[in-house]
């Protein structure tokens, strides 16, 4: 395109932006969602996974098999608050659309079915399937409430169940439990994977304030290998839902092992959160590179997340998903029919900085399938001072993906960022402060928060922005997932505006900021 034409288009678009300011502010807010229709209720996520009805917490048993991504989850089918735990079940062929399936695992005489994982026993090590028709095996914690009430310490034990019809029907193993509690109150959330170099299964288990590693030739008999975590990382609460996997270091031929450990309470912004360690694992022992905690996500609402097993080598992706809530207030958030949603699935990688390894996570590329044509794309630089409205009649701020590339080299400012606002001036503010060197998500005046005094807070995360800063935000009814610089920093927060957000603003305080490029997409609903 010739320069003069480019300039006039820029002037036109910029003029529209400025003149749209008053229009958008006076535009009538639409409700965050009418209370009718399938997946149309107020605060119902339109492209995130949530159960049709009732209570959900941790993702469980995430495994890929025969073209399907399985998502099991902690589920209480009789109420919108936590209760006797079952495993709910859903499948997806593309990580974007989900199909609900019947409850997979019900509590039995050994207890409730707490969190755990699933594997495909391709070599039929367990003898529960066959090599031609391998069993899907779920490894979970039995939590026995009677034994807990009676004052026993051994009320959590590990059990297994198997399915030979792609996870549709399940049989509990007759020899359960397969790993008995040695006398420790918190003994749960097994994550199991095949360790090729030693030719055995490895289980990582959360054990009060540390993790235990076990090995097994057949998923039925387990041997203690080692423990990790005493005095390492964050210890503001109990350790839960661990994971251990090998991950490629971007731009190199090497890989590192990454250990995830969820902790509740004790997260960096209060309540539940997930920390990680990088290091080496030889099939017996995990040796960390860092003994201080690093956080998978600095927002308040990404907990108990783990990764999918059995992703094909040809794809070679490490895919993650977490529970988009926080035990600080999960049971009282203002949704009526169901409670909680999962994060959007994310792809993980490692980056190197000063000889240390850091996790990056970004939405899986399949998100592009959800993008609608009505995008707003500005590829010419523009400056922002104060608060500037970005307007488009077709923009649905309650269901969108926003991307802004800031050029900080030529900018002088105190803080910059994005504001989502509704007609009654409730606003979610997400930004970066140059003097504090931190990102923040401020939901203190973003709508309904009186259900818990722990909710309406400002979450912060240390960050040292370079000359270029890329902000990517995914908004869906009641959540905002922020990915900074290709996922080097992530903040996931839920939010309950009284009316839907209709005004998008970019702000810069203390000077002007240059934006090189921006792209905005409406995202489609997956529920019909
Ligand atoms: C984490 C957790 C797990 C437990 C499950 C019970 O959110 O507390 O440790 O297995 O939830 O629902």
Report d(CA 135, CA 121) in Å as an integer: 6
Return the percentage of the chain with pLDDT > 90, whole number.
Answer: 88
Q: Is the pLDDT of residue 351 over 90?
A: yes
Return the percentage of the chain with pLDDT > 70, whole number.
Answer: 93
Ligand 1: atom nearest CA of 241 is: 9
DSSP one-letter string for 416-449: EEEEEE-TT--EEEEEEETTTTEEEEEEEESS--
Ligand 1 center to 143 CA (angstroms)? 10
Out of 59, 61, 74, 306, mutate this one to test ligand 1's pocket (max ligand atoms within 8 Å of CB): namely: 74
Q: Is the pLDDT of residue 274 over 50?
A: yes
Specify the pLDDT at position 417: 97
* Structure-block tokens of residue 488: 């080097």
| pLDDT tens sequence across 35-62 | 468 999 999 999 999 999 999 999 999 9
- Tell me if 154 sits within 8 A of 181, measured CB to CB: yes
Query: Does the C-beta of 141 come closer than 6 Å to ligand 1?
Result: yes
Ligand 1: atom nearest CA of 323 is: 7
Q: Would you give the DSSP letter of residue 375?
A: -
Query: Does the C-beta of 70 come closer than 6 Å to ligand 1?
Result: no
Specify the pLDDT at position 373: 78
Query: Does the C-beta of 58 come closer than 6 Å to ligand 1?
Result: yes
| pLDDT tens sequence across 221-236 | 999 999 999 999 999 9
Report d(CA 33, CA 446) in Å as an integer: 16
| pLDDT tens sequence across 374-401 | 778 888 889 999 999 997 888 999 999 9
Specify the pLDDT at position 408: 96
Mean pLDDT on 502-525: 96
Residue 505 has φ and ψ, to the nearest 5°, of -125, 150
Out of 77, 85, 112, 188, mutate this one to test ligand 1's pocket (max ligand atoms within 8 Å of CB): namely: 188
Q: How many CA atoms does the CB half-sphere of 372 hold within 13 Å?
A: 12
* Structure-block tokens of residue 198: 């030693």
Q: Is the pLDDT of residue 321 over 70?
A: yes
Task: Band the pLDDT of 129: cuts 50, 70, 90.
Answer: very high
Specify the pLDDT at position 376: 82
DSSP-based three-state secondary structure for 392: coil
Query: Does the C-beta of 415 come closer than 6 Å to ligand 1?
Result: no
Number of CB atoms found within 10 A of residue 390's CB = 22
DSSP one-letter string for 262-300: EEES--TTSS-EEEEEEEEE-SS-EEES-SS-EES--SS
Specify the pLDDT at position 166: 98
Mean pLDDT on 259-267: 98
Ligand 1 center to 58 CA (angstroms)? 7
Q: Which residues are catalytic?
A: 58
Specify the pLDDT at position 36: 62
Mean pLDDT on 320-344: 98
Specify the pLDDT at position 68: 98
The pTM assigned to this predicted structure is 0.93
Burial classification of residue 4, based on how many CB atoms lie within 10 Å of its CB (0-12 exposed, 13-18 middle, 19 or more buried): exposed
* Structure-block tokens of residue 180: 């008995």
DSSP one-letter string for 463-512: ----SEEEEEEEEESSEEEEEETTTTEEEEEE---SS---EEEEEEEEEE
Among the ranges given (52-56, 406-410, 418-422), the one the predictor scored with the smallest mean pLDDT: 406-410
For ligand 1, atom 8: residue with the closest CA: 240
Q: Is the pLDDT of residue 21 over 60?
A: no
Query: Does the C-beta of 347 come closer than 6 Å to ligand 1?
Result: no
Number of CB atoms found within 10 A of residue 251's CB = 10
Report d(CA 98, CA 526) in Å as an integer: 8
DSSP-based three-state secondary structure for 376: strand
Report d(CA 33, CA 431) in Å as an integer: 26
Number of CB atoms found within 10 A of residue 27's CB = 15
Query: Does the C-beta of 301 come closer than 6 Å to ligand 1?
Result: no
Report d(CA 203, CA 172) in Å as an integer: 19
Number of CB atoms found within 10 A of residue 303's CB = 30
């Amino acid at each position: 395109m010739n320069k003069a034409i480019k300039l006039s288009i820029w002037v036109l678009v910029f003029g529209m932006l400025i003149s749209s300011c008053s229009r958008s502010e006076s535009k009538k807010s639409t409700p965050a969602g009418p209370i009718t229709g399938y997946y149309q209720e107020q605060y119902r996520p339109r492209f995130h996974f949530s159960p049709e009805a009732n209570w959900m917490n941790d993702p469980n048993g995430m495994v890929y098999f025969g073209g399907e991504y399985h998502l099991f989850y902690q589920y209480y089918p009789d109420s919108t608050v936590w209760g006797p735990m079952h495993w709910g079940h859903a499948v997806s062929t593309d990580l974007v659309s989900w199909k609900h399936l019947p409850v997979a695992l019900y509590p039995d005489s050994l207890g409730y079915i707490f969190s755990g994982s699933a594997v495909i026993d391709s070599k039929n090590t367990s003898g529960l399937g066959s090599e031609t028709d391998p069993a899907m095996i779920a490894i979970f914690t039995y939590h026995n409430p009677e034994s807990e009430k009676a004052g026993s310490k051994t009320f959590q034990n590990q059990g297994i169940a198997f399915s030979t019809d792609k996870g549709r029907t399940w049989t509990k193993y007759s020899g359960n439990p397969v790993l008995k509690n040695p006398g420790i109150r918190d003994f749960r959330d097994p994550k199991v994977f095949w360790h090729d170099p030693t030719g055995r299964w490895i289980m990582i288990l959360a054990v009060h304030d540390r993790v235990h590693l076990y090995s097994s030739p057949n998923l039925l008999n387990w041997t203690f290998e080692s423990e990790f975590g005493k005095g390492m990382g964050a210890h503001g609460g109990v350790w839960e839902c661990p994971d251990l996997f090998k991950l490629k270091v971007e731009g190199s031929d090497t890989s590192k092992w990454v250990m995830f450990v969820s902790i509740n309470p004790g997260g960096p912004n209060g309540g539940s959160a997930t920390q990680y360690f990088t290091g080496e694992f030889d099939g017996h022992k995990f040796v960390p590179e860092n003994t201080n905690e690093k956080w998978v996500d600095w927002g308040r609402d990404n907990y108990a997340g783990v990764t999918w097993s059995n992703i094909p080598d040809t794809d070679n992706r490490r895919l993650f998903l977490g529970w988009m809530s926080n035990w600080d207030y999960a049971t009282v958030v203002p949704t009526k029919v169901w409670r909680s949603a999962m994060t959007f699935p994310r792809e993980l990688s490692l980056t190197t900085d000063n000889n240390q390894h850091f996790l990056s996570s970004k939405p899986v590329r399949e998100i592009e399938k959800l993008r609608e044509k009505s995008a707003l794309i500005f590829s010419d630089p523009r400056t922002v001072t104060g608060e500037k409205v970005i307007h488009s009649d077709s923009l649905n701020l309650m269901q969108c993906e926003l991307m802004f590339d800031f050029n900080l080299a030529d900018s002088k400012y105190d803080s910059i960022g994005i504001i989502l606002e509704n007609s009654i001036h409730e606003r979610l503010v997400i930004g970066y402060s140059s003097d504090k060197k931190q990102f923040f998500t401020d939901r203190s005046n973003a709508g309904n928060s009186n259900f818990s005094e722990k909710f309406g807070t400002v979450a912060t995360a240390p960050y040292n922005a370079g000359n270029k800063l890329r902000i990517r935000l995914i908004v869906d009814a009641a959540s905002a997932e922020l990915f900074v610089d290709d996922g080097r920093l992530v903040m996931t927060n839920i939010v309950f505006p009284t009316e839907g957000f209709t005004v998008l603003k970019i702000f810069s305080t203390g000077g002007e900021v240059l934006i090189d490029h921006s792209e905005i997409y409406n995202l489609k609903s997956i529920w019909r």
